[in-house]
Structure 1
Amino acid sequence: MLDVRRMQVLRAVVASGSVTAAAANLGYTPSAISQQVAALEKQAGIALLERVGRGVRPTAAGRLLTEHADVISRRVAEAETALADLRSGRTGTVAVRYFASVGATVVAPALARLRRQYPGVRIDLKLNDTGDPLTEVEQGGADLALVVRRADDQPPSGVRLVHLRDDPYRAVLPHGHRLAANDVLDLAELADEPWIGSEPPGPCLEPVLDACAAAGFSPDFVVGSEDYATAQGFVAAGLGVAVIPSLGLGLGLGLGLGNGNPGVTTHRLQRPEPVRTVYAAVRDTALEQPVLCALLDALTASLTPEPTEPTR
C-alpha cells in the first residue's frame, strides 16, 4: 500500500524541482527527503524521479502519483473545512425526539431560536410514538430526546438526563362544577368524581396515580383519552373531571394558549400536587457540540414558566 505522507513528499519535490529545495520548504534534511522518496519508489515498484542537471523531474509514474497526491491534498483540506464547520455548528444534523404535549409549546419555539443561531444545521424531528427514546439516544439514533422520568430513574450508560422543568398537573373541571369557584383544590376532593383519562399508561400517568394513592383513593376513569384536547372536550361536555399537566394546557409559557377549551376551568392541586419531571436525554459525548448546547439553552428558555393564576 502506498504511503500518503510519502506521496506528499514526492509532490513537494516535484513542485520544488529538487530534493534540496523540497527539504528546505518542508523543514527536513535532503537525506530524509531522499529516504522518503526511495521508500515510496520501493512501494510503487518503479522509479518516480530522474535527475536533470542539478535537479530532478518526475517520471511518468512520478507524475501519476503527484496528480493523485494533489487530489488527496485537496480532499484532506475539504475534510478539514467540513470538520471545522461541523464542530462550530455551521453544518450538520441534530436528531430530536419529543412527546406530544411539548411539541407546539416548547419544541417549536426552541427550534425556531436554534435555526436563527445555526441556519445551516438540519433538524431531524420526530415524535416519540414507539419504542424507548433513551435507547435511541444511547445507540446514536437521536442526539436529544425529551422525556418524562422519575427523579431516581437511572439512564442507560453514557446517557445523561438534563433536568428542564417540573411540570405540575392541574385539575380541569366543567363550568358550573361545584368546585369551580376554588382556585386551589385538595386532590382528595376529586376522589368521588368520574375521571376522564388523558394519559396512556407510562411515566406521565404514574405521577397522577401515585398522588391519588397518597391522598387515599384510586381515580375512577369512566372515559379513556390519550389526547389532552379531547380530554378537555369530554370535561366540557360534563362527562367528568381530568387532571392534566400544565404544559398540556399551555399554562405558564406566556404563549397565550390558555386552556384551549372555553368550556372548562383549571385549578391548582395540593395535598399532594402531582408533578411530572421533564428531562432532555443526551449522550455525554454529545454535550461537546455547540449546537446541542444551544438547543438545551433554547429548550430551557421555552420551558421557563411565567407566574400565572389558574384560568377560570
Structure 2
Amino acid sequence: MCYMLDVRRMQVLRAVVTSGSVTAAAAHLGYTPSAVSQQVAALEKEAGIALLERAGRGVRPTAAGRLLTGHAAVISQHVASAETALADLRAGRTGRLTVRYFASVGPTLLAPAVARLRRDHPGVTVEPRLSGAEDPEPEVAEGRADLAVVVRRPGEGARAGVRLVRLRDDAYRVVLPVGHPLAARRAVDLADLAGEPWVGSEPPGPCLEPIAAACAAAGFSPRYAATSEDYATAQAFVAAGLGVGLIPRLGLGARHPGVVVRRVRRPEPIRTIHAAVREVSATEPVLRALVDALLAG
C-alpha cells in the first residue's frame, strides 16, 4: 500500500497528542473542534489505521499515532529550518554566487567587488571562474552562472532572459617603448600610429572591435608585427622594440619598466564593460549587492 500522508494533517495530529484533547488542540491551532476532528479522521483514512483512542475525557495516540506524531515533530523542525534558511537568503545573509569574468577585470574590478561583498555579506559564498574563449552570457541565460562580466558594443542588447548592467567604460591607452618620439607627448593622436608596427594585445572579439573601429575612423588598419593575448607579454614586446600597442586601462595595473603609457585621442578607443545577470534573479539581494560593488569599483 502506498501512503500519501498530508503533512498539515500530521501537524494537527501532533497538536492533539501534545495537548491530549481535541478541544485544547483546536484552541491552540485556532480551529474549531469539528475541524480538528475532521483533519484527524482524514489522516486516519490516508494511513488506513486508527491514530487516536479515547482516554477518559481526552484522547491518546495509538502506536500508529505515536509513530506519526514523532515524524510530524521532525517535519516541523525541518520546515522551521527551511523557513529560517529562506529568510536568510531573502535578506542576503546567505547564498552562493557563481561568477564568470575575463582576465583583465579579475584583479582590478572583480576582486575588490568580491572583497566588499564578503565584508558586507560574510555568509555569502562567491565562486569566480575565468571565462574561456566562449561568450559566458549563455551560461547566465541557462542558469549555470549567476553573473558574467562581459564586453558589449554600444547599443548591443542581451539575449532573452538576461539583463545587461553597464559597469564602466574602459578606455585604451597607447603603450610605447621608452625613448619613442611620441613618448614626449601627453596625448597621442591615433593617426600618428598609422605608420608604426603594432603589437596586438586582444583576441578577435568584442575587445578588439573598438580598436579596429577607431583605427578605421582614423584612416588606417594596424600592421601587426607581433601578437599576444596577455597584456604583460604585450608590454614586454613593446619594451623590446617590436612595435606599439593599445591596452585598456584596466589591463595596465602592472606596468613594464620599459614602456610609457599615453592617452589616445581622435578617436579614443573604448570598450564598454557590463554585468550580465538573469532577469528573474536581478533583484535578489546578494546578486544586487555584487552588482552594486562592481559599480562602486
TM-score of the two chains, using structure 2 as the length reference: 0.97
Q: Give, as a single letter, the amino acid of the residue that structure 1 aligns with 2:20.
A: G
In the comparison of the two structures, how many residue pairs are matched? Answer: 294
Q: CA deviation at 1:243?
A: 0.7
Query: Structure 2 matches for 1:109-258, cutoff 5 A?
Result: 109-250=112-253, 257=254
Q: CA deviation at 1:298?
A: 1.5
2:163–2:282 Cα contact (<8 Å) kept: no
Q: Give, as a single letter, the amino acid of the residue that structure 2 aligns with 1:6.
A: R
**CA displacement, residues 64-95 of structure 1 (integer Å, 9 cap, x when unaligned):** 11111111001101111111122222222111
SS for the counterpart of 2:37 is helix
Look up the match of 1:300.
Answer: 295
**CA displacement, residues 154-182 of structure 1 (integer Å, 9 cap, x when unaligned):** 21111111001011111111111121111
Q: 1:277 aligns with which of 257, 272, 278?
A: 272
Q: 1:8 aligns with which of 2, 8, 11?
A: 11
Distance 2:5 2:145 in 1: 38
Q: Give, as a single letter, the amino acid of the residue that structure 2 aligns with 1:145.
A: A
Between 79-88 and 94-103, the greater mean CA deviation after superposition: 79-88
Look up the match of 1:286.
Answer: 281
Distance 2:86 2:69 in 1: 25
2:19–2:25 Cα contact (<8 Å) kept: yes
Q: CA deviation at 1:198?
A: 0.3
Query: Structure 2 matches for 1:77-96, cutoff 5 A?
Result: 77-96=80-99
Distance 2:119 2:229 in 1: 34
Structure 2 residue runs without a partner (length 5+): none
Q: Give, as a single letter, the amino acid of the residue that structure 2 aligns with 1:23.
A: A
SS for the counterpart of 2:282 is helix
Q: CA deviation at 1:268?
A: 1.1
Q: CA deviation at 1:212?
A: 0.7
2:95–2:286 Cα contact (<8 Å) kept: no
Q: Give, as a single letter, the amino acid of the residue that structure 2 aligns with 1:159.
A: V
Q: 2:20 aligns with which of 10, 13, 17?
A: 17
Look up the match of 1:306.
Answer: none
**CA displacement, residues 48-68 of structure 1 (integer Å, 9 cap, x when unaligned):** 110111100001111111111
Sequence identity percentage: 70
TM-score of the two chains, using structure 1 as the length reference: 0.92
Cα RMSD of the aligned pairs, angstroms, is: 1.0
**CA displacement, residues 273-305 of structure 1 (integer Å, 9 cap, x when unaligned):** 111000011112222222212211211222xxx
Structure 1 residue runs without a partner (length 5+): 251-256, 303-312
Distance 2:175 2:7 in 1: 69
SS for the counterpart of 1:180 is helix
Q: CA deviation at 1:114?
A: 1.0
Q: CA deviation at 1:131?
A: 2.5
Q: CA deviation at 1:141?
A: 1.1
Look up the match of 1:108.
Answer: 111
Distance 2:133 2:32 in 1: 63
SS for the counterpart of 1:229 is helix
Which runs of 4 or more aligned residues in structure 1 lie more than 6 Å from their structure 2 counterparts after TM superposition? none
Distance 2:72 2:84 in 1: 18
